[in-house]
Amino acid sequence: MTKLTLGTHPFLLGFEQLERLVERTAKSGNEGYPPYNIEQTSERSYRITLAVAGFADEDLSITVEDSSLVIRGRQKDDADGRVFLHRGIAARQFQRSFVLADGVDVGEAILENGLLHVDLTRHVPESIVQTIEIKRSGK
């Protein structure tokens, strides 16, 4: 029996990109740092919250690249002249990516109490009915 993939199913025309997107997301290599939550705040809006304690707003960057929301953090190592007897809080950098569906827009980002909140809104396209004229062949 032949296995049908999403991109080759006869009723799903033009969805080849979706299969590549799923593969890319699986290979994205996001490790567990920083921890995050994704919550649905209304029928058409979401909020991603990342735990970024120790990061200032200038240590963080948020970009949208090729339908992906990319959040990066890089702390400055300010250990100059300081002597640590134990250093359990590392100046660690990270990159966390989230794939965005068509019609999802990134809204505002808020940093409060060590949590970075990024709001997203999904726009529902209008339903369009199109009538296609059938022409006779010129035989």
Taken in order of first residue, the domains within the chain and their CATH numbers are 1-30 (no CATH), 34-122 (2.60.40.790)
pLDDT at 32: 82
Query: pLDDT per residue over 28-50, tens digit each?
Result: 555 688 999 999 999 999 999 99
Mean pLDDT by 10 residues, the chain (139 residues): 61 70 62 90 96 93 93 83 83 89 94 97 90 86
The pTM of this model reads: 0.72
pLDDT at 116: 98
pLDDT at 37: 97
Mean pLDDT, the chain, integer: 85
- Name which of 73, 113, 117 is nearest 92 in CA terms: 73
